[in-house]
Amino acid sequence: MGVMDPIEGEEELIHAAVEAVLQSCGTRRESLIPVLQGVQDRLGYLPRPAMERIAEAMQLPKVEVFGVGTFYNQFRLNPPGKHRVKVCMGTACHMMGGHIILESFERRLSIHEGETTPDREYSLERVACVGCCALAPVVVVDEKVEARVSPIRVDGILLTFEIENKEQEAEQQREAGQQETGQQETGQEREEGRQQ
Ligand code: FES
Q: Give per-residue pLDDT as tens, 97-108.
A: 999 999 999 999
* Same domain as 89, residue 33: no
- 24-28, long-range: CB < 8 A, 24+ apart: 27/57, 27/58, 27/59, 28/58
Identify whether 109 is part of a domain: yes
Question: According to the model, what pLDDT value does residue 73 have?
Answer: 85
Question: According to the model, what pLDDT value does residue 2 have?
Answer: 65
Q: Is the CB of 136 under 6 A from ligand 1?
A: yes
* Same domain as 155, residue 97: yes
- Is-contact 23 1, C-beta < 8 A? no
* Same domain as 156, residue 97: yes
Identify whether 176 is part of a domain: no
* CATH (domain of 103): 3.40.30.10
* Same domain as 89, residue 63: no
Reported as a single tens digit per residue, the pLDDT across 33-70 is 999 999 999 999 999 999 999 999 999 999 999 999 99
The domain total for the chain is 2
Identify whether 177 is part of a domain: no
Reported as a single tens digit per residue, the pLDDT across 146-180 is 999 999 999 999 999 999 989 988 988 888 888 87
Identify whether 161 is part of a domain: yes
Domain boundary among 18, 47, 71: 71
Reported as a single tens digit per residue, the pLDDT across 88-98 is 999 999 999 99
pLDDT above 70 (res 134): yes
Supply the range of the domain harboring residue 132.
85-166
Residue owning the nearest CA to atom 1 of ligand 1: 90
Q: Is the CB of 129 under 6 A from ligand 1?
A: yes
* Same domain as 34, residue 92: no
How far apart are the CA of 126 and the centre of ligand 1, in A?
Answer: 11
Identify whether 52 is part of a domain: yes
Question: According to the model, what pLDDT value does residue 156 have?
Answer: 96
Region 67-92: mean pLDDT is 94
Identify whether 3 is part of a domain: no
* Same domain as 160, residue 92: yes
Question: According to the model, what pLDDT value does residue 27 have?
Answer: 94
Full-model pTM: 0.78
Identify whether 146 is part of a domain: yes
* Same domain as 102, residue 58: no
Question: According to the model, what pLDDT value does residue 196 have?
Answer: 61
How far apart are the CA of 65 and the centre of ligand 1, in A?
Answer: 33
Find the range with the poorest average confidence among 32-41, 46-55, 118-127, 182-191: 182-191
What ligand 1 atom has the least distance to the C-alpha of 130? 3
Find the range with the poorest average confidence among 33-47, 65-79, 130-144, 173-187: 173-187
How far apart are the CA of 98 and the centre of ligand 1, in A?
Answer: 9
